[in-house]
Amino acid sequence: MNTPAHLILGAAAFGKPNQNHVIAAAVIGSLLPDLSLYLLAGWELVVRGTNPQIVFGQLYFSDAWQQVFAIDNSFVLWGIALGLAVWRRIDWAVALTAGALLHIALDFPLHNEDARMHFWPLTEWRFYSPWSYWDSASGGRVIGVMELVLVMGAAAFAIMRFRAWGWRALIAALAALQGYTFYQWYFFF
């Protein structure tokens, strides 16, 4: 799924009305499994000026990058963290780790050749799904429509639940970004 979708779904699922710290934690947790990709790709594209085809065709699949992705996309590590958060009864930590786990759970069946090692450190096995959230040759157009409908529904739900205008504005902006991303993937890929 696209990152704005993860942020909206995490906020809708784990954000608590009138508890800004819990909403923020849910949003941040929903971002964390993708953050390393943004940092690594951003460094290569913006700072080093590396060609995007090299970044996403070679570096993305390199052992070094895949190891980083294994850590921040691990059901095992995030599951342990959620268990600790629940045990300690820390509401913001529960929202953060649950947001990350929801992100990973939604990505798991939607990554084809770009699959991650979701069960690291127990195994380096990857589930190469027949479906892809972006590749039209692997159902990306249909999945994109389903994702858009789900995300817009979750955005409406979150906007109704959260009374603070700042959160409503952020959710609306993320929904607009998701719509734009859908348009790009649907018509250009």
**pLDDT score of 36:** 98
52/185 Cα distance (integer angstroms): 16
**pLDDT score of 189:** 58
**pLDDT score of 151:** 97
Q: Which amino acid is residue 72, in one-letter code?
A: D
pLDDT means over runs of 10, the chain (189 residues): 96 97 98 98 97 97 98 98 98 98 97 95 97 88 93 98 96 96 74
**pLDDT score of 135:** 84
**pLDDT score of 119:** 98
- Beta-carbon neighbour count of residue 146 at 10 Å? 12
21/95 Cα distance (integer angstroms): 9
**pLDDT score of 188:** 67
Whole-prediction pTM:
0.94
CB distance 75 to 119 below 8 Å: yes
Classify residue 162 as left (phi > 0), alpha (psi -120 to 50) or beta: beta
39/115 Cα distance (integer angstroms): 19
